[in-house]
């Protein structure tokens, strides 16, 4: 579970950094790639959610060495922002989180996973 989340999180963060949504309309290739990242993120988050009670219980008892909560939350942020970036509505696209702002959220999580 940890590997699935870690890989999905890092691949999505890397993609988002390259995409740099800035309110512009994404081209077809970017749209396809963004949808693929959304699909991968949804599969990952669904699996994590299915096992969340067990993961939280193991972490609370000291049997799981990592708190996955920050990675889960920031993956949700990236997912929501990708949905906004894919919007046909320019006002919604403008609401996608900037890469600079996202980097400030992701850096602590990245450092934790190192």
Question: Which tens digits make up the pLDDT trace of 77-100?
Answer: 999 999 999 999 999 999 998 888
pLDDT value at residue 107: 82
Give 51 or 67, the one with higher predicted confidence. 51
- pLDDT, position 114: 61
- Yes or no: say if 93 and 25 are a contact pair by the CB < 8 Å rule: yes
CB 41 within 8 A of CB 78: yes
Is the pTM higher than 0.75? The answer reads yes
Dist. CA 18–CA 34, nearest whole Å: 11
42 within 8 A of 8, measured Cβ to Cβ:
no
How does DSSP classify residue 27? P
pLDDT band at 64 (very low <50, low <70, confident <90, very high): low
At 29-39, the pLDDT tens digits run: 999 999 999 99
* Spans of all domains in the chain: 2-113
């Amino acid at each position: 579970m940890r590997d699935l989340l870690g890989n999905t999180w890092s691949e999505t963060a890397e993609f988002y950094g390259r995409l740099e949504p800035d309110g512009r309309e994404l081209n077809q290739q970017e749209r396809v790639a963004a949808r693929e990242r959304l699909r991968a993120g949804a599969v990952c988050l669904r699996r994590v959610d299915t096992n969340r009670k067990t993961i939280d219980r193991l972490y609370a008892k000291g049997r799981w060495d990592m708190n996955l909560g920050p990675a889960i939350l920031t993956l949700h942020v990236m997912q929501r922002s990708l949905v906004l970036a894919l919007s046909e509505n320019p006002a919604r696209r403008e609401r996608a989180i900037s890469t600079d702002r996202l980097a400030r959220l992701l850096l602590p999580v990245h450092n934790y996973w190192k």
